Amino acid sequence: MNSVMGHRLAILFLLVAAVSCNSEKKTLRNFRYGNFDYVLNYYQNVLKGQPNNGKANYYIAECYRQSNRIKESEKYYAKAGGQGVNHDSVLFYLAKAQHANGKYEEARKTLEDLVSSSEIEGIKDMAKKELDGLTYIDQLNEKKNYYRVKNLEALNSNYSEYSPAYLNSELYFTSARGNEKIYATTGTPYTELFKVTTKGANVDVNTVKPLPDGINSPNVNVGTVTFSPDGKTMVFAKGNTGKRKGTNDVDLYISRYRNNQWSEATQININQPDSWESSPAFSPDGRTLYFSSNRKGGYGGLDLYSAQMDSRGRFSRVRNLGPEINTSGNEMFPYVSENGKFYFSSDGHPGYGMLDIFVVNRINGKTVIDNLGQPMNSTADDFGLFLFRVDRGFFTSNRDGGKGDDDIYTFINEDPNLKVVNYYLQGITYMWRKDSTKEILPETKVTMLDGKGDVMQDYVTGNDGKFLFRVYENENYTLIGETDGFLVKRGPYTTIGKSIRLDTLKELITNVTLDTLLVLDRLQKDVVFELKNIYFGYDSANIRPESARELDKLVDILNDNPEIKIEMGSHTDSVGSVAFNINLSQRRAEATVNYLIKKGIAPERMVAKGYGESKPIARNTNPDGTDNPIGRQRNRRTEFKILEIGVRKEKKEEDDDDKYFRDH
C-alpha cells in the first residue's frame, strides 16, 4: 500500500513539475513577445512563496524596465540573480532605477562599485557616463530657470493623456480614456487620438471628442500626431497590436484632409517591417519629417531620424540625426518650433533619471544639447513639448501630483531676455547663357551643407528658381545645386559677421533674410572650363599650395559629377620654343592629373593634354610688338574639357524609384 501511494505521489510530483515547467516556458515566451503584464502576474505569484527568488525578481525588474516603469523595478533588481543573469547588467539597471527615483547618492555608490568591479568594458563605459550625468545634475540645478508650469487639470483624466499638438484653435492629444480593452505589454488601456477646442491653454472640455474611425482603430494603440503647416496632412503613430513579436509593430501613418474630413490613414513608405517608428514631427516648412525608430544602424535604443517629403507626399532620404543627438539610450518626441529650436526627449543624455526634455542650440557651428532643467523636467518622464507661442506651450509628464498616468501640462518661459532672431538665406538658381548673361534655372535641387560637410536641409526650386533655408549666426555653409542637363555646382556662403546684437532688439521675434545666388553650367561635351589661379614656378610642373586649393574645387566637381570624363589641358604663353612649351604644358597637365588621382579620382576619368602656345586666348604682344604681360598671364592657364558624359548613378536610381511608384 505504501509502495502504491509513494508511486502515485511521485507521479503527482512529476505532473506538477511538468505543469510548472510548461507554465514557465509559456511565461518566458510571453516575455519575448513583450506581454509583460502576463509575465508580471506569473512571477509575482512566485514571489509570494519565494520572496528572494533571484530569477523571479530579475524578470519582474526587466518587465517594469522594458515597459517604461523602471522606477518600480528598483527593489526587484536589488534581489535579482541566478543562472544566466548578468550581475553587471543588473547593477547598471539598479543604478538607473535609483537615479529615476531621485536616489542620486545611492545610484552614485552603485555605479562606483560597478566601475571598480566590472571586467566588461562596455558596461564600465556606460557606468562612467552615468556618473558624469549625476555630476551634471548638480550643475544644472545651480542654473537660473525662468519656466513656470501648471497641470492642465481641465483636460486630464485618471487615464493617460500625452503628446499635445496645436492646430487651428484645436488641441490634439493621445489618451486612454473611455477604452476598456487592456494592452498586455503595459497593463493599461489602448490609446486613441482626441481633439478639443482651445484658446491657447484654455480648453473647452465640452468639445472633447475622438478622431474618426480610419484614424483610430479598436484594440490598437494610436498616438503622437503631427500636422503639416497648412493643416492638410496628418502623420501619426499606430500599432502595438500584440500580434507581432515584441513591440515593433508600430508604424507611421498618413491622412489627408479632403472634403472637410480626414481620409482613411495609410502607412507611409519609410516604415520598416522589423522596427518601431513613432513620435513624428513636421518641420515648420513641412518639408522634413522627424521621427523616432529602433531600426538597425542606430546608436542604441530609439534614435531620432529625419526624412524629406516631396510635393507628391512621398518620403525619402531617411537619415540618422547622428551621435551628437542620439545616444545608447532612447531619443523620442522630436519637435521643431517656429523659431528653429529643435526639442526632443531622452533618457540617454544627462538628466534627472527618466525621459527629460532637451533643446538643441547651435553656437558658432557647433551643436550644444541643453537640458531644460526643473520645473520642465523631473525624476519622472517629461516629453512631448509643443509651443503655440515663442514663450509658452504644452508638454507631457507623469510626475507626482498629476491626475492620471501621463498628464498634459502648460508652461510659460518668463526669461526677461528672451529674444529670438530667425536667420534665413534666400537665393535664386541661374544658368549661364551663351552670351555670358544669367537666366533663371527652375526645378533645381539645392542642398545646404554645414561647415563639416553634413547635409542640413535641401530644397527643390519652382519656376522662379527661388530657394530658402534657415541658417544660424557665425557659421560657414556650402550650397550644392543640381538638375538634369547641368553640372552639379557648389557655392560657399557664410553668416560670420552678419549677426544682429540681441540688446538692440525690441521685439520678441526678429526675422533676418540674407541673399545669395547659385549659377549652374550646362553639362555638354567639348565645353571648356578655365580653372582660375592655377600657378606653377618658372619652367616647373610643381603644383603650388595656392594652386592645390583651386584643384581641390575640381575634386569636388568630379566627385559631384561622377558621370563625366575630362581632359585636363595646360597652356603656355609664347616665351620659349614651340617644342619647349609643348613639353612644359604636357608635364603640367600630367602633374594636375596626378594630383587629382592622389585625391581619389579614378585615372580612367582623366586625360592629360599639353597644348603649349598653340591656343592663345589673348595677345602675347601688343600690336606695336611690345610685350603684353596681361595677355601672357591669361594664356598661361589650366582648363578642363568634358570628353564623355555617362549616366549618373543617382539619376538612374531616382528613375527606378519613379517607375516603381508608377507601377504600384
CATH number at residue 538: 3.30.1330.60
How many domains does the structure of the chain reveal? Answer: 4
**425: number of Cβ within 10 Å:** 20
The SS3 assignment for 41 reads helix
The pLDDT assigned to 246 comes to 45
**Band of the pLDDT at 439, cuts 50, 70, 90?**
very high
Q: Are residues 81 and 176 in the same domain?
A: no
The pLDDT value given to residue 431: 95
pLDDT at position 659 over 70: no
- Residue 247 pLDDT > 70: no
- The candidate with the shortest Cα–Cα distance to 415, out of 393, 390, 397, is 390
In this structure, the answer to whether residues 79 and 222 fall within a common structural domain is no
CATH number at residue 119: 1.25.40.10
Q: Which of 469, 498, 520 is the last residue of a domain?
A: 520
CB 524 within 8 A of CB 436: no
* Integer-rounded Cα radius of gyration of the chain: 32
Tell me, yes or no, whether 555 and 426 share the same domain: no
**Shared-domain flag, residues 136 and 158:** no
Asked if residue 134 and residue 151 are part of one domain, the reply reads: no
How far apart CA 11 and CA 518 sit, in angstroms, is 86
Residue where a domain terminates, one of 94, 119, 141: 141
Q: Which of 558-572, 622-636, 640-654 has the highest mean pLDDT?
A: 558-572
Mean per-residue pLDDT for 398-425? 91
Helix, strand, coil: what percent of the chain each, to 5? 30, 35, 40
Q: Which of 499, 520, 541 marks a domain boundary?
A: 520
More reliable by pLDDT, 502 or 196: 196
Name which of 154-168, 229-243, 312-326 the model is least confident about: 229-243
Do 429 and 284 reside in the same domain of the chain?
A: no
Q: Nearest-CA neighbor of 192 among 170, 167, 213?
A: 213
Which pLDDT score is estimated for 649? 60
pLDDT at 136: 87
CA 565 to chain CA centroid, nearest Å = 36
Same domain, 129 and 152: no
| Structural domain containing residue 572 | 528-650
pLDDT given for residue 579 in this prediction: 95
Instruction: Name the phi and psi angles at 522, rounded to 5.
Output: -65, 145
> Which three cell numbers, joined as nine digits, stand for 584?
612644359
DSSP-assigned letters across all residues of 531-599 = ETT--B-TT--PBPHHHHHHHHHHHHHHHH-TTEEEEEEEE--SSS-HHHHHHHHHHHHHHHHHHHHHT
Does residue 655 belong to any structural domain of this protein?
A: no
Structural domain contains residue 104: yes
379-392 in b/e form (b: 16+ CB < 10 A) is: bbbbbbbbbbebeb
Q: Please provide the size of the chain in residues.
A: 664
Q: Does 258 reside within a domain? A: yes
Which pLDDT value is given to residue 240? 60
Is residue 9 situated within a structural domain?
no
Angle between helix 578-598 and 545-560 (nearest 10):
60
Backbone angles phi, psi at 436, to 5 degrees: 70, 15
Band of the pLDDT at 325, cuts 50, 70, 90? very high
- Averaged pLDDT, 382-387: 96
Q: Are residues 164 and 173 in contact, defined by beta-carbon separation less than 8 angstroms?
A: yes
Whether the pLDDT of residue 292 is over 50: the answer is: yes
Specify if 313 maps to a domain. yes
Q: Does one domain contain both 469 and 490?
A: yes
pLDDT score for 478: 95
Q: Please indicate, yes or no, whether residues 289 and 345 belong to a single structural domain of this protein.
A: yes
CATH (domain of 350): 2.120.10.30
pLDDT value of residue 72: 92
Whether residue 223 is predicted with pLDDT greater than 80 in this model: the reply is: yes
Average pLDDT, the chain: 88
Q: What is the band of 11 on the pLDDT scale with cuts at 50, 70, 90?
A: very low
What's the pLDDT score for residue 650?
Answer: 54
How far is residue 327 from each of residues 107, 127, 203, 290, 521, measured CA to CA in Å?
20, 14, 37, 16, 42
Question: Using DSSP, how many helices (H) and how many strands (E) does the chain show?
Answer: 11, 36
Whether residue 536 lies inside any domain: the answer is yes
| 487 phi/psi in degrees, rounded to 5 | -65, 140
Average pLDDT value for residue range 28-32: 84
Pair (362, 433) in one structural domain: no
Minimum mean pLDDT range among 26-40, 333-347, 418-432 = 26-40
pLDDT bin (cut points 50, 70, 90) of residue 243 is low
For residues 438 and 399, state if they share a domain.
Answer: no
- Percentage of residues in the chain having pLDDT higher than 70: 92
Residue 559 falls inside a structural domain: yes
Would residue 398 count as lying in a domain?
A: yes
Whether residues 109 and 202 fall in one domain: no
Q: What is the pLDDT of residue 658?
A: 44
